Copies of this chain bind each other. A is one copy, B any other.
Amino acid sequence: MSRTLLTPQELAQALSALPDWDIVSSGKAIRRLFTFKDFNEAFGFMTRIAMHAEKLDHHPEWSNVYNKVEVTLTTHSSQGISKLDIQMAEIMDKLGG
């Protein structure tokens, strides 16, 4: 099940391929800050991600201040980090640099 919590081993392995992401202090989410040239580029990124989020039915928690987008990914129904969060992080890295 894609919303099943990852084991510590699975999580460690997944994050080794996502070096820009950190585990938040609760251990229940991953976080990354993306920096773009300007608001246009930052919001363009958010728009592309929004469509992926709808398709996956898995939505980021995110904030935007001008050229910066801070993203937190967690799976609420499982209260932690699942394969879906890793999948979304991979998509974000691909589209957000």
**Please, which residue of chain B has its CB at the minimum distance from the CB of A67?**
B59
Please tell me if the beta carbons of A63 and B61 are within 8 angstroms of each other in the complex: yes
When the two chains form their complex, are residues B65 and A53 in contact, meaning their CB atoms are under 8 A apart? no
Copies of this chain, how many?
A: 2
B66:A64 contact, CB within 8 angstroms: no
Q: Which of A41-58 contact B (CB under 8 A)?
A: 43, 46-47, 50, 53-54
Sample (19) of A-B pairs whose CB atoms are under 8 Å apart: A39-B50, A39-B53, A39-B54, A39-B59, A40-B54, A43-B46, A43-B47, A43-B50, A46-B46, A47-B47, A59-B65, A59-B66, A61-B63, A61-B64, A61-B65, A62-B63, A62-B64, A63-B63, A63-B64
